[in-house]
Amino acid sequence: MKSLYCSLPFLFVVVCSLSWVNASANSHENFLDCLSSYHPQESSSISKVVYTETNSSYSEILESSIQNYRSFTTNTPKPLVIVTPLNISHVQATIHCSKKHGLQIRIRSGGHDFEGLSYVSQVPFIVIDLVHFRSIDVDVENEEAWIQSGAITGEVYYRINERSTNLTFPGAVGHTVGIGGFISGGGYGLLFRKYGLAADNVIDAMFVDANGRVLDRKLMGEDLFWAIRGGGGGSFGIVLSWKVKLVHVPSTVTVAAVRRTLEQNATQLLHRWQYVAPNLPNDVYSVVSISTTNSTENGERTVVATFVSVFQGGANELIPLMQERFPELGLVREDYIEMTWIESILLLTGLTNQTKEVLLDRSYKNFFLSPSFKGKSDYMRKPMPEIVIQGLLSQLLEDEARISTLNIIAYGGKMDEIPETETPFPHRKGTLYKISYYVGWQEEDNSNPQRYISWIRKVYKYMGPFVSKYPREAYLNYRDLDIGRNNNEGKASYKQASVWGRKYFKENFDRLTYVKAKIDPENFFRHEQSIPPRFH
C-alpha cells in the first residue's frame, strides 16, 4: 500500500509521508528483529554495532564525522538506526533488512558530503557508517594498496609513509576526507596535475550490491567498475574497499605562498594567473585562495588573494620557473620553504607545527572557515576579463561575505591527457581551472542562514556568463542541491536527473543511467542526486 502511494506523483506526497510517520516506529522495531535473525549465530555480534536513539552513544556516533553543521540542526531528520558494521555479513544483513522493511540506506565513510546526504534523508532511513572498515594494506614492492572506504585520507598518507617515504596516494588536501565518498566522486589533491584523480588510480574494488552480492572488478564487470570511479557515492551500491596504485613523491617538496591585497594588485595578478597556472609543469599544484581581511593600516576590510604553489621538487627548480613564467608575482626568498611530502600535507591542511600523528585523528573538525557552510563550484574554459574579476572580488566585501572564500585551482597537466569518457568525471581537456565558492556563518545564525546562502547564489549568478556552458559544469564532490534534486522520495525521472547529471558528468551521464539499470533496477540505493535507472 505504502509503496503504491509513494510511487505516484506529487499529488500523493502528503498521504505518503503521513503513512511513513505511522510506519516508521514499527518498521524500525521490525528492522531490528530482522537484523538479529538474519544470522542467528552472529546475533550477539551484530547487536554490538547497532545504535538507536535509546543507546547513549547514538548522538556521539552520529555527530562524530559531521563537517557541516548546516545539515545537522535540531530540525534535521535523524536516522532510525545507525549500523557500524565490523564485517561484510553485517553490511549484507543491513541491506537485506532495510529492503524488507522499506527503509532507505545512507552510506557514510567520512561524512564530508557538502549537503549531508550520507546522514540525512527526508524518509525513514538507516545509516551504515563504515568507521570500522578502515584497514589499509600497503604493498610497497608492487606499489599498490587495498584501502577500506571508511579510512580517512590522513590515515592513508600516514600508513603509506610508515612503510615508504617516497610513495603515497593521490588523495585529498584535507586529511579528514573519507576515502569512500572521495574516490566515488573522482577526488583531487596536491598531485592531481601529475597523476590524475584518485579515481584514475583505482585498479580494483570490493563492492556490495542491493542483493547483498559481493563483487570484485572481475565479477562486477567493466561497466560498473567504470561507474564507481567518479559516478558519485550512494547510487550503485556500497564500495567496501579500493585497490589503488601508489605514486612517487620526491624527498623534497617546496611550498610557496604570496599574499596580495586589492591594493597590491590582487585583481591584475589573478587575471595573469589564468594564463600561467594551467600551463605550468605537472609537478606544480597551483591554487589561489581568496578571502577578506581587515587591512592592517586603516582597519578597513580588503580582499586578500594568496597564490600558493606546491612543487614536487626543490626550490632551486621552482623559483627560477616561477620567476620566468610569473615574474609579476614577485616571489622572494621569504615566500617559500622546502619540506617533506607529509609536512606539505600538514601545512596545506592548516596543521603546521603538529606532529604527523594528527593525520590519524578522524574526529578533527576540518572546518573550512566555520562549522556551517554552503559551497558551490564552477569550471572555467576561458579566462575571465579583468573587469569581471574586479566585480567578483568586490562582492567579497559585502557584509554577508565576512566568512567566505574562493579557491581557484589550476587544471591542466595530466588532467588534459585523460579522455573525458575514461571515467565518469568529465572535466578534463580544455578546463583551465575550477572555482569553489564557500560561505560560512557564526553559530548563532545557523537557525536562519538564508542571507548567506542568498549571497553565494547571487555570486554564482553573477559568474554565469563567464563560466563553462551547456552544461555549466560542477564538481560532484562539492555537492550542491541548488543545481537540481529529486523529490523527497529520491526518485527522479531521467529528464529531471539530467539537469544536475549533465553538470556533474556531461555526456557520461547516459552511460551511468544504463549501468544503474543493470546493477540496481529497483533503485534501492538512492538520494536527492542519485543516478536514476534507464532501460533501453
Ligand X SMILES: *[C@@H]1O[C@H](CO)[C@@H](O)[C@H](O)[C@H]1NC(C)=O
Ligand Y SMILES: Cc1cc2nc3c(=O)[nH]c(=O)nc-3n(C[C@H](O)[C@H](O)[C@H](O)COP(=O)(O)OP(=O)(O)OC[C@H]3O[C@@H](n4cnc5c(N)ncnc54)[C@H](O)[C@@H]3O)c2cc1C
The residues of the shown chain that bind ligand Y, judged by CB under 6 A, are 67, 106-114, 117-118, 130, 149, 172-174, 177-178, 180-182, 184-185, 187-189, 233-234, 238-239, 366, 368, 477, 527
Closer to ligand X by Cβ: residue 164 or 340 = 164
Which of ligand Y, ligand X, none does residue 484 bind (CB under 5 to 8 Å by kind)? none
Cβ at position 23, least distance to ligand X in Å: 21
Which of ligand Y, ligand X, none does residue 501 bind (CB under 5 to 8 Å by kind)? none
Closer to ligand X by Cβ: residue 55 or 421 = 55
Closer to ligand Y by Cβ: residue 107 or 304 = 107
Which of ligand X, ligand Y, none does residue 117 bind (CB under 5 to 8 Å by kind)? ligand Y
Q: Pick the catalytic residue: 157, 195, 478, 504?
A: 478
Cβ at position 260, least distance to ligand X in Å: 8
Q: Which residues contact 264 (CB under 8 A, 6 or more apart)?
A: none
DSSP states of 394-454 as a string? HGGGSGGGTTEEEEEEE--THHHHS-TTSSS----TT--EEEEEEEEE-GGGTT--HHHHH
DSSP states of 122-176 as a string? SSSEEEEEGGG---EEEETTTTEEEEETT-BHHHHHHHHHHH-TTEE----SSTT
C-alpha–C-alpha distance, residues 27 and 100, integer Å: 9
CA-derived radius of gyration, the chain: 23
C-alpha–C-alpha distance, residues 472 and 434, integer Å: 12
DSSP secondary structure letter of residue 178: B
DSSP states of 493-516 as a string? -HHHHHHHHHHHHTTHHHHHHHHH
Contact between 189 and 172 under an 8 Å Cβ cutoff? The reply is yes
Which of ligand X, ligand Y, none does residue 229 bind (CB under 5 to 8 Å by kind)? none
Cβ at position 216, least distance to ligand Y in Å: 15
Burial 116-126 (b: 16+ CB within 10 A, else e): bbbbbbbbbbb
Closer to ligand X by Cβ: residue 167 or 406 = 167
Q: Which residues contact 50 (CB under 8 A, 6 or more apart)?
A: 32, 35, 81, 82, 83
Which of ligand X, ligand Y, none does residue 67 bind (CB under 5 to 8 Å by kind)? ligand Y
Closer to ligand Y by Cβ: residue 210 or 262 = 210
Q: Which chain residues interact with ligand X by CB under 6 A?
A: 42, 45, 47-51, 54-55, 86-87, 89, 164-166, 264-265, 294, 352-353
Which of ligand Y, ligand X, none does residue 533 bind (CB under 5 to 8 Å by kind)? none
* Bridge pairing between strands 404-410 and 247-248: unpaired
φ, ψ dihedrals at 214, nearest 5°: -100, 125
Q: Which helix (H) or strand (E) holds 293?
A: strand 284-294
Cβ at position 266, least distance to ligand X in Å: 10
Nearest to 328 by CA among 391, 390, 275: 275
Closer to ligand X by Cβ: residue 47 or 73 = 47
Closer to ligand X by Cβ: residue 250 or 391 = 250
Closer to ligand X by Cβ: residue 246 or 483 = 246
Q: How many helices (H) and strands (E) does the chain have?
A: 17, 18
Residue 261 burial (CB count, 10 A) = 16
Which of ligand Y, ligand X, none does residue 50 bind (CB under 5 to 8 Å by kind)? ligand X
CA 498 to chain centre: 20
Cβ at position 400, least distance to ligand Y in Å: 21
Q: Which residues contact 279 (CB under 8 A, 6 or more apart)?
A: 325, 412
* Bridge pairing between strands 202-208 and 125-129: unpaired
Cβ at position 518, least distance to ligand X in Å: 27
The residue type at 61: I
Which of ligand Y, ligand X, none does residue 234 bind (CB under 5 to 8 Å by kind)? ligand Y
Cβ at position 87, least distance to ligand X in Å: 4
Cβ at position 119, least distance to ligand Y in Å: 7
Q: Which long-range contacts (CB under 8 A, 24 or more apart) does 70-74 make?
A: 70/116, 70/372, 70/373, 70/374, 70/446, 70/449, 71/113, 71/115, 71/116, 71/119, 71/120, 72/116, 72/119, 72/120, 73/446, 73/447
Closer to ligand X by Cβ: residue 108 or 503 = 108
Cβ at position 138, least distance to ligand X in Å: 11
To the query of whether residue 69 is one of the catalytic residues in this protein, the response is no
DSSP states of 88-117 as a string? HHHHHHHHHHHHHTT-EEEEESS---TT-T
Which of ligand X, ligand Y, none does residue 428 bind (CB under 5 to 8 Å by kind)? none
Closer to ligand Y by Cβ: residue 126 or 266 = 126
Nearest to 536 by CA among 503, 499, 507, 510: 510
Which of ligand Y, ligand X, none does residue 87 bind (CB under 5 to 8 Å by kind)? ligand X
Nearest to 430 by CA among 443, 411, 407: 411
- Please give the positions annotated as active site: 478
